[in-house]
Structure 1
Amino acid sequence: MSGRFPIEDVSPVVSCGRYPARAVVGELVPVSALAYREGHDALGCNVVWLGPDGRARPFTRMRPGEPGQDRWHVTIAPDAVGEWLFAVEAFSDPYLTWHNAITKKIAAGQGAVELANDLAEGVRVLSAAAELVPKADRPRLDQATQALRDADRSLSERTGPALELADLLWEHPVRELVATGEEYRIWVDRERALFSAWYEFFPRSEGAVLATDGEPARSGTFATATQRLPGVAAMGFDVLYLPPIHPIGRVNRKGPNNSLVAGPDDVGSPWAIGAEEGGHDAIHPDLGTAEDFRGFVAAAAQQGLEVAMDLALQCAPDHPWVTEHPEWFTTRADGSIAYAENPPKKYQDIYPLNFDNDPDGVRAEVLRVVLHWVGEGVKIFRVDNPHTKPVDFWHWLIWEVKRVDPDVLFLAEAFTRPAMMHGLAKVGFTQSYTYFTWRTSPAEMREYCAELVAAADYMRPNFWPNTPDILHETLQHGGPPMFKIRAVLAALLSPSWGMYAGYELFEHVARPGAEEYLDNEKYQLRPRDWADAEAQGRSLAPFIATLNRVRRDNPALHRLRNLVFHDIDNPALLCWSKRDPTTGNTVLVVCSFDSHTVQWGNTTLDMPALGLDWHDRFTVHDELTGASYDWGQRNTVRLDPYLQPAHVFTLRRPGVPEPDARATTPPVSTAGPQGGTASATKDDARWTS
């Protein structure tokens, strides 16, 4: 402890201040501390904070929390990218001490003679406040001071004007015996670090032509992939993630479905990086040139899409690094270089880097590669398997890159132990893949999301219902309704979410015995006829576009800390809300986890979490159907997976006119006097292999 008063348990603080807490520009960051003092005099607390420019931000006073607990709270909203510094101060508040004491003494019947010293103390405090309050309020202060001195007035007339200054002197307090706590850091990223919608496709599949009799297969290029950009943008995505675009090794190249033998025309896995054409700073010649890549990035930007690249720190056996820097790899007892293994899985086409033999050399080269792509306009990197590389390396690399360009973001693809996932987030990763895919019941999802909200000071989740590596059994067997369900959960629980191409076509056929796609795009070209799928009603793209539109239009969905779950009496249903305290925007979602059966449920809403009193009635407007309903704390819902597996409501405040919206179809059912919901048009997308 340092200073006159104890200041303890400050938040947000990550690993005792070893790493900065995280926020984005404009985010309301909750700051709290435990502070207390001896005796009965009043204590005040405030936050002092400095922006990246070194300029102090406005005085921010903290308010006490639960009575008697000495916990103080406030929110701050950083307004620039970079490292911010904050500290909590505690001080003796003589005005509040005086206010509390004289109010109690007057109530006890004490008169002016008995309160002479108290009146004089009031004059002293107000005189000290004269230079602290805005000039426009100084006449009030002068009048209150004169009243305290005027013995000809009644006691209530003498004290009344001074007691009425409570709000003014809360915002502009007289501070005595100020104690300053330790200084802590918050790293503030741009908005996309927290709120983003990702879409993944393989450029080589877009516009590709499969082999026919006498004609070899032909890879797609950046030019042909550009034609897919409007479709991705139309679904409302803002980040386009590309798997590795580098030359692919020929030695030990994998064939279709991860087979050990590749044919002469097999394209191999993009994650087996490096060949005679170059390594991590090169582009696969089948995709085009560096100029073609720049054109693709520019075309994506015109569609509102930011390109994210894969950073996979591993090499094919014929990567240039293998011959130029053999010390960067692990040599086995027989003299061979060890390929990657995750027993019993073997990756014969990949050599992992060894970060210990020549750490300075490896670090310098990786930094050079990353900054090369930053120079090409890439500001987002999805990092492949970061949990298989040293954590201290990532801590060094990420902050070295941010020192050059603070707008660069890193997504950790680490499906591993919780301690490692959280550790990677603490040392600097901007976002993290999560266990979302494997949380398949409302109870599991509610518990897991509560864990993520508790870690929001440093970890930002990105929910993906599928990836090229992951096709969960719920999607394999759940039918089209499950694709809607998982999209609703991913898009509306987390401020960042993503999906891999083919999800909107309900692709669901798995390789036998594996949780991944049959004819996996990791190992072969997979062109898709997007236009035909939409024309035939076999595309989820319109639904995805609606979800992303709802996300974009509702600031409540741009944040994680505001996630609140509400009780519902059916264990197959999940109910949650998000509210933006600045605008009052509130979104309330009820989603089924059952893709086969109609489910009914009764909600018990946490009304204050919605910004309402317990007895309030309010209007909910379903963003998926256009229907509106009158609701209260308890309501009945009916969710039919083939008609509407979820309700996505925006709330109308009491007294605000209801929008002129109509449901797309008549209600299927209406609940009793407590309110109810309806279902929308049946999805006619066919479940095809």
Structure 2
Amino acid sequence: MAKTAKRTGTAPSTPSTTDAPTKVGRIPVLDLAPQLNDNLWPAKAFAGEVVPFRATAFREGHDAIGVMLHLTAPDGTLTRHPMHLTVPGTDRYETQVRLDLQGFYSYRVRAYADDFATWVHNAAIKIPAGIDVELMFLIGATLLAPAGKDLARPVAERRLFAAAAKTLANTKLPLETRLAVVTDPALAEAAALRPLASLDSFSAERTVRVERTRAGVGSWYEFFPRSEGAVRREDGSWQSGTFRTAADRLPAVAAMGFDVLYLPPIHPIGRAFRKGPNNTLDAGENDPGSPWAIGSAAGGHDAIHPELGTIDDFRFFLDAARAEGVEVAIDLALQASPDHPWVKEHPEWFTTLPDGTIAYAENPPKKYQDIYPINFDNDPAGIRAEVLRLVRYWIGVGVNIFRVDNPHTKPLDFWEWLIGEINRESPDVVFLAEAFTRPALLQGLAKVGFQQSYTYFTWRNTKEELEEFFDGLAHDTADFLRPNLFVNTPDILTEYLQFGGPAAFKIRAALAATAAPTWGVYAGFELYESVARPGAEENIDNEKYEYRPRDFAKAEALGRSLSPFLGLLGRIRAAHPALRQLRNLDIHSSDDDSILVYSKYLAGEFTDDGRADALIVVANVDPHSVHETVVHLDVTRFGLPLGSHFEVEDLVTGSVWTWSADNFVRLDAFTEPVHILHVRVPATLQTQNGRSE
């Protein structure tokens, strides 16, 4: 007989397969939205934004399930929101919630066996058919009776459940009386609010960061303060405008409905390699140079250009803007002219070439000999400390919005760090990314913290391009990327504007102001400035390199200004909260390749007056022609039942028509190329929301 080995310890036990953890609950809850990269960063919203929360949930067999959003606000308040099935057969559930408090929300999604719904479904089929009648009544009574004794429920609700259970159990009552319990709407409503549930399963927790409303809603206007109030001297040269002369333009900016004024860099400009008119290399003594060539003997990024005034003059300008209801955004351009103090004090912050020179900025074929880019891999700690100091300084002066120049040429982790540091200290600060770059990088900047982003809007001009673009902004990237639809910039004058005439300017403004809650205009747009520098997609006599004072009043007096229309757009945006949302845009169709149709809808409970707000935009995107066609609407997308007839008011012309799902339109590019239609939704017909996934 073989000897048994002596045991000196306890043999390892075999894990029980019944105790092994699973990655899903009893009822799986998957594919939560909003979330970013498996909660690597919080999803984004702004105060007042209506956010769709979604999840996929299902179970085996045919029994009903319920799905509930558990949402915890920044103040710790927990609310529960029933989620509804978006499309039968998809197992995709959704609810929309307006997030009003600034800060971090957390949420989980609960899925459960809806025992009440399962019983109602079975009883409604079996009892009328005479199948298992008493058994179904007994199951219902057994289910409802405990709810009648549940002290967590309101007294009236307990009485309702207790009475229903007694009715079901009373075999002496008529069949019709007992059957009425199955379809009792009061019972169904109570069960929906506080379900009769089992097999509770919860998803993982996810986070949504809600920022101030200005982070997601605003109308931006850009001007160069040196051009506002600039006067020509006797020798033909220009005397720069100042912050105090530029303040005179503020009432007109506010009158057009703009509430953010963006200023290109306001710092001293270098002399070395200063650019002349149209980016030439032969600047004259009185040429002002590019504001992006930052730094001179007068100082760097924490200094004011002496010709604009002093820091006190800038504070005067900020106060004047606030008095008009306008916030001021300044440029954060992390680069330097060869004359910047950094070049002498921190040469290690730049790239030194083998011949001993410092590399200047290039974006082939463009060359910027007057600008040195920073090398963020040389002394990253020192660079971070300096930039953090600069941003804190301007916040202290009174600036809370920064338009960031070319952030895609700096490391992504730098922006994640900087914006995170600043927003922890100053959560109201907003950063706009000027990143015309590859989609992954543009979206990456938004994910790591940028509150707003320039987009490809200026290059999306056809109906097909705009449909795809707008739908993607509203539904594919809205959890993290907030578009700022600038119609033009000092660097961008597209062929559409160069050759489209005044109609092109009107069309682009109407689209930008209605498709997204944030949009922007660079000065001169309202004057239809459309002559490009040969070989470039930018204005000739570009304001980046010279003074460009404009006589806005004269142009308006002669009827050659878009300012009245921009003011109308501002008033429309102020009056219609649906336009101050991003995720509520839905594309509709037309029979013409140049007629773009979309709607924006905000359900009644989310509006200030308690009614639904619905608008339809119909735009002729061909600025050269008249187009007639039929537009086709899915009226359920803006809260109306199929087959509805309804009134629409054109907010541009004041005309009123009766519309339905199919409507004839005629849009003349040379008169009124765009309908902005307010749908007069009867209060009795409006629904929670008009979109299904």
TM-score normalised over the length of structure 1 = 0.91
**More deviation in 110-119 or 244-253?**
110-119
Equivalent residue for 1:584, pick from 612, 632, 635: 612
Distance 1:452 1:114, change over 3 A: closer
User: Taking every aligned residue pair, what percent have the same amino acid on both sides?
Assistant: 52
Q: What corresponds to 1:602 in structure 2?
A: 630
Equivalent residue for 2:587, pick from 565, 580, 584: 565
**Secondary structure in structure 1 of the residue aligned to 2:548:** coil
**Secondary structure in structure 2 of the residue aligned to 1:366:** helix
- Output the CA distance in 1 between the equivalents of 2:140 and 2:554: 84
Deviations along 1:203-254, whole A, 9 cap, x unmatched?
11100113432x6421111100000000101111111000010111111111
- Output the CA distance in 1 between the equivalents of 2:514 and 2:558: 28
Q: What corresponds to 1:260 in structure 2?
A: 281
Equivalent residue for 2:404, pick from 380, 383, 390: 383
Q: What corresponds to 1:311 in structure 2?
A: 332
The Cα of 1:99 is off from its aligned counterpart by: 2.5
**Secondary structure in structure 2 of the residue aligned to 1:248:** coil
**Secondary structure in structure 2 of the residue aligned to 1:228:** helix
The Cα of 1:120 is off from its aligned counterpart by: 4.6
Distance 1:551 1:588, change over 3 A: same
Distance 1:3 1:251, change over 3 A: same
After superposition, the CA RMSD in angstroms is 1.8
* Matched AA of 1:168: A
- Output the CA distance in 1 between the equivalents of 2:675 and 2:388: 46
Q: What corresponds to 2:322 in structure 1?
A: 301
**Secondary structure in structure 2 of the residue aligned to 1:59:** strand
**More deviation in 234-243 or 424-433?**
424-433
The Cα of 1:316 is off from its aligned counterpart by: 0.7
Q: What corresponds to 2:161 in structure 1?
A: 141
- Output the CA distance in 2 between the equivalents of 1:124 and 1:94: 13
Distance 1:534 1:313, change over 3 A: same
Equivalent residue for 1:551, pick from 565, 573, 595: 573
- Output the CA distance in 1 between the equivalents of 2:683 and 2:350: 68
- Output the CA distance in 2 between the equivalents of 1:518 and 1:113: 86
- Output the CA distance in 2 between the equivalents of 1:357 and 1:555: 48
Equivalent residue for 1:104, pick from 125, 133, 146: 125
Q: What corresponds to 1:436 in structure 2?
A: 457
**Secondary structure in structure 1 of the residue aligned to 2:79:** coil
- Output the CA distance in 2 between the equivalents of 1:52 and 1:616: 41
- Output the CA distance in 2 between the equivalents of 1:625 and 1:322: 57
Q: What corresponds to 1:673 in structure 2?
A: none
User: 5 Å matches for 1:499-518?
Assistant: 499-518=521-540
Q: What corresponds to 1:325 in structure 2?
A: 346
- Output the CA distance in 1 between the equivalents of 2:461 and 2:535: 20
- Output the CA distance in 2 between the equivalents of 1:565 and 1:301: 37
The Cα of 1:545 is off from its aligned counterpart by: 0.4
**More deviation in 381-390 or 141-150?**
141-150
Q: What corresponds to 1:344 in structure 2?
A: 365
- Output the CA distance in 2 between the equivalents of 1:461 and 1:224: 32
**More deviation in 139-148 or 80-89?**
139-148
The Cα of 1:511 is off from its aligned counterpart by: 1.0
Q: What corresponds to 1:665 in structure 2?
A: none
Equivalent residue for 1:618, pick from 642, 646, 650: 646
Q: What corresponds to 2:20 in structure 1?
A: none
CA contact (8 A) 1:133 1:168 kept: no
CA contact (8 A) 2:267 2:291 kept: yes
**Is the aligned partner of 1:631 residue 2:659?**
yes
Q: What corresponds to 1:357 in structure 2?
A: 378
Q: What corresponds to 1:152 in structure 2?
A: 172
- Output the CA distance in 2 between the equivalents of 1:520 and 1:274: 21
- Output the CA distance in 2 between the equivalents of 1:120 and 1:230: 70
**More deviation in 443-452 or 513-522?**
443-452
**Is the aligned partner of 1:23 residue 2:51?**
no
CA contact (8 A) 1:46 1:62 kept: yes
Q: What corresponds to 1:66 in structure 2?
A: 87
- Output the CA distance in 2 between the equivalents of 1:325 and 1:42: 68
* Matched AA of 2:658: D
Q: What corresponds to 1:221 in structure 2?
A: 242
Q: What corresponds to 1:49 in structure 2?
A: 71
Q: What corresponds to 2:265 in structure 1?
A: 244
Distance 1:266 1:655, change over 3 A: closer
**More deviation in 174-183 or 548-557?**
174-183
Segments of 5+ residues of structure 2 without an aligned counterpart are 1-22, 605-610, 685-693
Deviations along 1:411-442, whole A, 9 cap, x unmatched?
11111111111111111111111111111211
**Secondary structure in structure 1 of the residue aligned to 2:321:** helix
**Secondary structure in structure 2 of the residue aligned to 1:17:** coil
Q: What corresponds to 2:15 in structure 1?
A: none
CA contact (8 A) 1:278 1:320 kept: yes
The Cα of 1:201 is off from its aligned counterpart by: 0.3
Q: What corresponds to 1:682 in structure 2?
A: none
**More deviation in 366-375 or 593-602?**
593-602
**Is the aligned partner of 1:122 residue 2:150?**
no
The Cα of 1:186 is off from its aligned counterpart by: 0.8
Deviations along 1:330-381, whole A, 9 cap, x unmatched?
1111122111111222111111111111111111111111111111221111
- Output the CA distance in 1 between the equivalents of 2:557 and 2:313: 31
The Cα of 1:123 is off from its aligned counterpart by: 4.0
User: 5 Å matches for 1:193-212?
Assistant: 193-212=215-234
TM-score normalised over the length of structure 2 = 0.91
Deviations along 1:57-77, whole A, 9 cap, x unmatched?
311121223223222111122
CA contact (8 A) 1:132 1:173 kept: no
- Output the CA distance in 1 between the equivalents of 2:466 and 2:438: 18
**Secondary structure in structure 1 of the residue aligned to 2:99:** coil
Q: What corresponds to 1:290 in structure 2?
A: 311
The Cα of 1:41 is off from its aligned counterpart by: 3.1
* Matched AA of 1:545: G
- Output the CA distance in 2 between the equivalents of 1:112 and 1:595: 69
- Output the CA distance in 1 between the equivalents of 2:653 and 2:87: 41
The Cα of 1:403 is off from its aligned counterpart by: 0.4
**Is the aligned partner of 1:650 residue 2:672?**
no
**Secondary structure in structure 2 of the residue aligned to 1:16:** coil
- Output the CA distance in 1 between the equivalents of 2:137 and 2:176: 14
* Matched AA of 2:288: V
Q: What corresponds to 1:6 in structure 2?
A: 28
* Matched AA of 1:651: V
CA contact (8 A) 2:584 2:600 kept: yes
Distance 1:176 1:614, change over 3 A: closer
**Secondary structure in structure 1 of the residue aligned to 2:49:** coil
Q: What corresponds to 1:478 in structure 2?
A: 500
**Secondary structure in structure 2 of the residue aligned to 1:630:** strand
* Matched AA of 2:284: G
Segments of 5+ residues of structure 1 without an aligned counterpart are 657-689
> How many residue pairs were aligned?
653
**Secondary structure in structure 2 of the residue aligned to 1:99:** helix
Q: What corresponds to 1:659 in structure 2?
A: none
The Cα of 1:147 is off from its aligned counterpart by: 2.4
Distance 1:119 1:543, change over 3 A: closer
- Output the CA distance in 1 between the equivalents of 2:100 and 2:309: 40
**More deviation in 218-227 or 355-364?**
355-364
CA contact (8 A) 2:126 2:133 kept: no
Deviations along 1:19-53, whole A, 9 cap, x unmatched?
11111112221111111122333322111122223
Distance 1:119 1:477, change over 3 A: closer
Deviations along 1:558-584, whole A, 9 cap, x unmatched?
112111122111112211111111332
* Matched AA of 1:491: A
**Secondary structure in structure 2 of the residue aligned to 1:138:** helix
CA contact (8 A) 2:116 2:197 kept: no
- Output the CA distance in 2 between the equivalents of 1:144 and 1:421: 58
